[in-house]
């Protein structure tokens, strides 16, 4: 996953402006402001407007929890007695090279 700070090219009128996002919370606030606008945009449109194109880095909370567990136990998945987590390890093993 990308580390902060991030530089995004945000749509402004007919052009773009560059903004720097320093923390995860700042990114969440930026996305929330787009969601709160009166026009109902799809998440993909919001990401386009904010210049977020590598959306594989955008995890929901549960996926992020699985990712953290994967990072902790990826070399010893047999230590956790949970079949869903073992499936998650198999999936993340396939995608890990693409995430970084």
pLDDT for the residue 88: 76
Query: What are the angstrom distances between the C-alpha of 56 and each of 4, 42, 59, 75, 80?
Result: 16, 17, 7, 23, 26
pLDDT for the residue 14: 86
pLDDT for the residue 1: 47
At CB < 8 A and 24+ separation, what contacts does 56-59 make? 56/95, 56/98, 56/99, 57/1, 57/2, 57/99
Arithmetic mean of pLDDT over the chain: 79
pLDDT range class, residue 2, cuts 50, 70, 90: low
Q: What is the DSSP letter of 80?
A: S
Span 54-96, pLDDT tens digits: 666 566 677 777 777 778 877 777 777 777 777 777 777 787 7
């Amino acid at each position: 996953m990308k580390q902060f700070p991030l530089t995004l090219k945000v749509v402004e009128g007919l052009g773009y402006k560059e903004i720097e996002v320093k923390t995860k919370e700042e990114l969440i606030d930026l996305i929330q402001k787009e969601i709160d606008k009166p026009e109902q945009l799809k998440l993909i449109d919001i990401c386009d407007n904010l210049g977020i194109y590598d959306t594989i880095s955008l995890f929901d909370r549960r996926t992020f929890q699985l990712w953290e567990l994967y990072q902790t136990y990826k070399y010893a998945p047999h230590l956790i007695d949970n079949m869903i987590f073992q499936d998650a390890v198999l999936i993340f093993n396939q995608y890990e090279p693409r995430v970084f």
